[in-house]
Amino acid sequence: MNLWQAFKMAFKSIAMKKTRSFLTMLGIIIGVASVVIMVSVMQGQAKKSMEYFEKMGDNKIEVQAYAYYDMNNETGQKLFDYCLSLSDLILGITPNVEINEKGTIQYGSKTLPVNDWDAIWANATPTGGGGMMISGDPYETMLRFVLGSESYGVCNNYTLAGGREFTYLEVEKTIPVCVLGSGAKEQLFGFTDPVNEIVTINGDPFQVVGWFESMDVEYNKSLDNIIVIPYTFNRSMNKNSSIQRYVIKAKDAQSTIEASTKLEAFLLGMFPLNADGWCETGSFRVGSDNSYAENAEKQNLMQSLVMGAIAGISLLVGGIGIMNIMLVTVTERTREIGIRKAIGAERSSIITQFLIESAVICSLGGLLGIGIGYVGTMIAGKLMADVFEGMILMPDPAIAIGAFLFSVVLGVIFGMYPAIKASGLQPVVALRAD
């Protein structure tokens, strides 16, 4: 018997008992569809996470350094000077200070509140547990003052849409200039170009020297609602609070690793640990977006593997069903096997026939499962539109092909025992069967 005849007999056997064949395939169909849907959803979630990190900016190093007795921000100045010595690794450094005090910004007859949490809490509703629930997204429109250096945009992955950022001299001499985020620019100026216009911040005039393009990060709308002011205004606008947080932009991934290592060593020299493992003069922490992204990627991969394994269990259950039905088929066709062996059929041809039949059943189930998986993935994308906003969720062809091949392999594996059992029947015993 050649392979073509074996395939014809397999399809004929399946066609003769359509209902039983479909129920046999059902476990494979559900298993393949589950693998495709679950892994596709996890991959979509991982892709959205990576998009978030990309928009926030790769190769960023976040440093938190605080000296217990540092009234003149000497720690920050030393950190700035050290970063200048790492110019081959680092593109820029900026404090990352948000002013929490309530304020105002005015242009012409339009006056807008800044950090207006009072209005937000006024619209909050009490919860059953004694807390308060804020209505909507408080960061959707609320403006914020932030203090930064001339490298604020570079370090935080902003792109200028117009004008420029303020200069080193403007920062050093505490010149009243500011750069607007796209949300702040839209609320104050609409479609008008704000460059070189004068706005009033807490009663003092500031010149707008530039504005940023929208970051368009759906999970963090507040990134666009900023008014960036030179950090040297910390004394007058932030009650001279200590500056503890800094963002440093490295040139590439390798530079991020090297710069992070050098910064940790530098800060450890500034804040040495005692015998008990803690510092008596201050504290510091160094972290990078790259490490956060890598951890998120590892976590997403682990979740995908777990979800795929759970879905794969249904494939194994389907494979057991295949073996069970093939054993029934062997029993039903015992006499046929006896006749074939009596006229000279070899064991290998009988094994091949039953393995092909098992593989064909799993293949058809796998193809149906892939089709259902594609439809199910698109439905899942629609149902989770808030999570996958702007993304068309489609299965990875590699996952679909892998699930199909796995189903075929299962058919061969679970069909092996029935095939060997069929080939081992003695012709005389088989011919006596009813």
Where do the domains of the chain lie? Answer: 3-52+295-432, 100-239
Query: What residues pair up with 132 in beta bridges, in sequence order?
Result: 126
Torsion of CA 297, 298, 304, 309, to 10 degrees: 170
Contact 61, 259 (CB under 8 A): yes
Model confidence pLDDT, tens digit, residues 340-394: 666 766 777 777 777 787 888 888 888 888 888 888 888 887 777 665 565 667 7
277 sits in the region (left: phi over 0; alpha: psi -120 to 50; else beta) called: left
Report which DSSP code applies to 232: G
Q: Count CB-CB contacts under 10 A for residue 175.
A: 16
Check residue 390 and give its pLDDT. 59
Question: What is the Cα–Cα distance from 216 to 301, expressed in whole angstroms?
Answer: 26
pLDDT confidence tier of residue 120, bands split at 50, 70 and 90: low
Q: What is the mean pLDDT of residues 136-165?
A: 85
Question: What is the Cα–Cα distance from 90 to 200, expressed in whole angstroms?
Answer: 34
Check residue 2 and give its pLDDT. 62
Contact 188, 194 (CB under 8 A): yes
Query: What residues pair up with 63 in beta bridges, in sequence order?
Result: 246, 286
pLDDT confidence tier of residue 189, bands split at 50, 70 and 90: very high
Report which DSSP code applies to 233: G
* Pick from 56, 63, 68: nearest CA to 79: 63
Model confidence pLDDT, tens digit, residues 286-309: 887 655 656 666 776 777 677 767
| CB-based contacts of 275, cutoff 8 Å, min separation 6 | none
Cβ burial, residue 386 (10 Å; 0-12/13-18/19+): exposed
Instruction: Give me 283's structure tokens.
Output: 């504290």
Check residue 352 and give its pLDDT. 76
Check residue 121 and give its pLDDT. 59
- Alpha helices (H) along 190-252: 234-237
Check residue 433 and give its pLDDT. 54
Query: What residues pair up with 246 in beta bridges, in sequence order?
Result: 63, 95
Query: What residues pair up with 110 in beta bridges, in sequence order?
Result: 107
Question: What is the Cα–Cα distance from 211 to 191, expressed in whole angstroms?
Answer: 12
> Structure pTM?
0.59
Helices (H) and strands (E) in the chain, counts: 14, 15
Check residue 167 and give its pLDDT. 94
Amino acid (one-letter) located at 266: F
* Pick from 119, 180, 118, 110: nearest CA to 144: 180
Q: What is the mean pLDDT of residues 56-71?
A: 77
Cβ burial, residue 106 (10 Å; 0-12/13-18/19+): middle
pLDDT confidence tier of residue 133, bands split at 50, 70 and 90: low
Model confidence pLDDT, tens digit, residues 223-243: 889 999 999 998 888 887 888
| CB-based contacts of 52, cutoff 8 Å, min separation 6 | 217, 219
- The strand pair at 177-180 and 110-114 is best described as unpaired
Reported as half-sphere exposure (CB side, CA atoms, 13 A), residue 419 has a value of 21
Check residue 207 and give its pLDDT. 96
Judged against a pLDDT cut of 60, whether residue 430 lies above it is answered with no
* Pick from 157, 257, 132, 271: nearest CA to 215: 157
Average pLDDT, the chain: 79
Cβ burial, residue 37 (10 Å; 0-12/13-18/19+): buried
- Alpha helices (H) along 333-390: 334-342, 347-383
Q: Which of 13-27, 138-152, 368-382 has the lowest mean pLDDT?
A: 13-27
Question: What is the Cα–Cα distance from 173 to 196, expressed in whole angstroms?
Answer: 19
| CB-based contacts of 267, cutoff 8 Å, min separation 6 | 63, 65, 79, 284, 286
Which residue would you say has higher pLDDT here, 196 or 129?
196
